[in-house]
Amino acid sequence: MTQWTGKRAVLVGPDRPLEIHEVTEREPGPGEVLVHVTHGGVCGTDVHLWRGEMPLPNPIVLGHEGVAVIEAFGTGVSTDSAGEAVAVGDRVYWQPVVPCQRCYACTVLGDVSMCENAFAGVFKDAAGPTAASYCEYATLDAGLPFYRVPDDTPSDAVIALGCALPTMLQGLERLGGIRPGHSVVVQGCGPVGLAAAWLAHLSGAAPLIVIGAPQRRLEMALRFGATDTLDMTELPDPAARAGRVREITGGHGADVVIEAAGVLPAFSEGLNLVARAGRYLIVGLWSAPGTVAIEPRLINNLNLQIIGTALAQPRHLHQAVQLVQTHHAHFPLAEAVTHRYRIEDSQRALEAVARLETVKAVIGPA
């Protein structure tokens, strides 16, 4: 029996440094796929998990964005989740979420992103097989959606927007889309904000305004299609930012505002940026607990729509790969990967993301 031994970064408790464990992997079981991880994306949600801002069983292996090379198959696996043939040595893209197909969300709502059991594959014993991506080897569970990365598509380009791109693809579905000529404001310029700006640009949004910091991320937002950026360090007053948005949009505000900042004050500010009969999509506040004051009559009297969206469905992962394949030569997707860390340096990666030093940070085995 073949064995594979590799390192993994383990969260042993809130606000504690990640530990590096070495584990010997077993042969994949029926329906499983063993992969050698080359790109574990570092997401802002990982920072929230590390800080203990979301309750978790510990210890767990961190990482929910991955690109890897197939090492071995369990019985019954010959294709990816779209039916495309796969072989040892092929690259695949996945997130460690397994819809149970035995709950109300999966079978009645038809929305597996709302499956209450989908994270069972994430919060596993840190010493056993895991589909998390802060590790050298991962085991993709039977039923876990994964998709082959086309040969002409760089792995850096696929991981550059991490879970943000499929999340935003679902968000735009829930929003009802963006039409050419719609004015759009994106709050935030991390990977979620960049994904939002890119998809809005591809949809024909104009003007397309991105609010955030630091400048390095705002410069990347311009390369992803933003027409204007507002640097929060240069324009710290929310009222001044709202005034600037109204200037750019001819006094109306934005037809669509997308919250991709992940901080509570963004919500109240965003409501003041939406035009009459406009729509406000909430994407980034998934892991930001707390409350804010709002004025409900604004929602009523201005005919506003507020739409929430969380996670993604398998089709959005597949769509993300297709979009990257189509557009990576024309947009700086691969260049968004600005920082690389060894698994042993996973703690440094989290801290760099927390300090907003990165556009996209990636953890790999070497």
Start-end ranges of CATH 3.40.50.720 in the chain? 165-308
CATH of 4-162+316-364 given 3.40.50.261, 3.40.50.300, 3.60.20.10, 3.90.180.10 = 3.90.180.10
Tokens of 359: 């556009």
User: What CA–CA distance (Å, rounded) separates 97 from 311?
Assistant: 10
Q: At what angle are helices 44-51 and 346-354 packed, to 10 degrees? A: 100
Q: What is the mean pLDDT of the chain?
A: 94
Lowest-confidence pick of 53-62, 182-191, 232-241: 53-62
User: What CA–CA distance (Å, rounded) separates 186 from 281?
Assistant: 10
User: What CA–CA distance (Å, rounded) separates 138 from 364?
Assistant: 12
- In the chain, DSSP finds a helix count (H) and a strand count (E) of 11, 16
* Model confidence, pTM: 0.95
Tokens of 119: 């994270």
Percent of the chain's residues with pLDDT above 90: 86
Tokens of 62: 């961190």
Q: Residues 120-142: pLDDT tens digits?
A: 666 677 889 999 999 999 999 99
Start-end ranges of CATH 3.90.180.10 in the chain? 4-162+316-364
User: What CA–CA distance (Å, rounded) separates 130 from 295?
Assistant: 45
CATH superfamily of 165-308: NAD(P)-binding Rossmann-like Domain (3.40.50.720)
* pLDDT at residue 366, as a whole number: 62
User: What CA–CA distance (Å, rounded) separates 194 from 188?
Assistant: 8
Split at pLDDT 50, 70, 90, the class of 155 is very high
3-class SS at 185?
Answer: strand
Q: Residues 173-225: pLDDT tens digits?
A: 999 999 999 999 999 999 999 999 999 999 999 999 999 999 999 999 999 99
Please check whether residue 289 is in contact with residue 264, taking contact to mean a CB–CB distance below 8 angstroms: no
Name, in order, each residue with C-beta under 8 angstroms of 120's C-beta and a sequence gap of 6 or more: 98, 100
Helix-strand-coil percent breakdown of the chain, rounded to 5? 30, 25, 45
Write phi, then psi, for 252 (nearest 5 degrees).
-95, -30
Q: In what order do the strands lie in the sheet with 19-25?
A: 19-25, 4-11, 60-61
* pLDDT at residue 312, as a whole number: 95
